[in-house]
A and B are shown apart, each in its own frame.
Chain A
Amino acid sequence: ETGVTQSPTHLIKTRGQQVTLRCSSQSGHNTVSWYQQALGQGPQFIFQYYREEENGRGNFPPRFSGLQFPNYSSELNVNALELDDSALYLCASSLDGPYTGELFFGEGSRLTVL
C-alpha cells in the first residue's frame, strides 16, 4: 500500500459533462502529480502541484485543471468531457518534487465517457 488514495474508483459520464477526481497524498508528501493512462499506453503527464501551486504542466488543454489544498490533497477537474478523455487517471505523491524518481501512485480513477 502506497498510502495514496483516490476517489471515485470508477465513474461514467457523458460528453460535455464535468468531472472532479480526488486524491489524498501519502503522509508527509507535498507534491502531487496527475497522469492520464489510456488503454495500452503509458501514463501521460497532466500537471504537478507543489505546495499548492502548479509546478509543471504537460500537453493537456485548459479544460484540465487542478487544485492542491493546504493538507496537500488534490483535485483534478475536467470540463466539457470528450470521448477521448476515457482513461485511468492516476495521482502520484512525492516529497519536494519528483527528483528522486519515486512517485507513489494511487490505484487510479477509471473514467468512461459515453
Chain B
Amino acid sequence: RKEVEQDPGPFNVPEGATVAFNCTYSNSASQSFFWYRQDCRKEPKLLMSVYSSGNEDGRFTAQLNRASQYISLLIRDSKLSDSATYLCVVNIGQAGTALIFGKGTTLSVSS
C-alpha cells in the first residue's frame, strides 16, 4: 500500500461547481497533513494545512479523520483559476523529517 493515496483524476467541472478530493494515508503515526497545489509545469505550493478540527480558507475546506486515516479537500464555487493538480501531503518519519506527497489529482474547471 502506498503511503499516500489520492482519488484518481482528472476532475472536469464547470465554473461554480463544488468538488471534493479525498486522500488516505497508511502511517498511523503521521503527525501533520497538508494540501499543496501545483500548476502545470510549475513547482508545488502550500495551499493549506489540515487540522483535526477541520479548517476553512475562503472557498476551500479541509478535513482530517485520524481514525480512518483520511483527508479531504472541498472546493466551493470553482473558478477557472482553480485548475491545477492538488497534492495531498503527509508529514511522517522520525521527528517529522519528511513530507510525503500523493500522486495528485488534476482539476480542470471550464466556463
Contacts and interface: CB of A to CB of B under 8 A. Distances in A.
Contacts of B102: 42
B98 to A, nearest CB: 5
A45 B99 contact: yes
Nearest to B106: A40
26 contacts: A33-B99, A35-B101, A41-B104, A42-B87, A42-B101, A42-B103, A42-B104, A43-B44, A45-B98, A45-B100, A56-B98, A58-B98, A90-B44, A97-B95, A98-B97, A98-B98, A101-B32, A101-B33, A101-B34, A101-B46, A103-B46, A103-B99, A105-B45, A106-B43, A107-B43, A108-B43
Interface residues of A, number: 25
B16 interface: no
A97 B43 CA distance: 19
Given A101-B46, A103-B46, A106-B43, A48 B97 contact: yes
Nearest to A2: B43
Contact of B91 (A90, A99, A107): A99
Interface of B: 4, 32-34, 42-46, 49, 87, 89, 91, 93-104
Interface of A: 2, 33, 35, 40-45, 48, 55-56, 58, 90, 97-103, 105-108
Given A43-B101, A99-B96, A101-B32, 10 more contacts: A35-B101, A40-B103, A42-B104, A45-B101, A55-B97, A99-B91, A101-B89, A102-B46, A105-B44, A107-B43
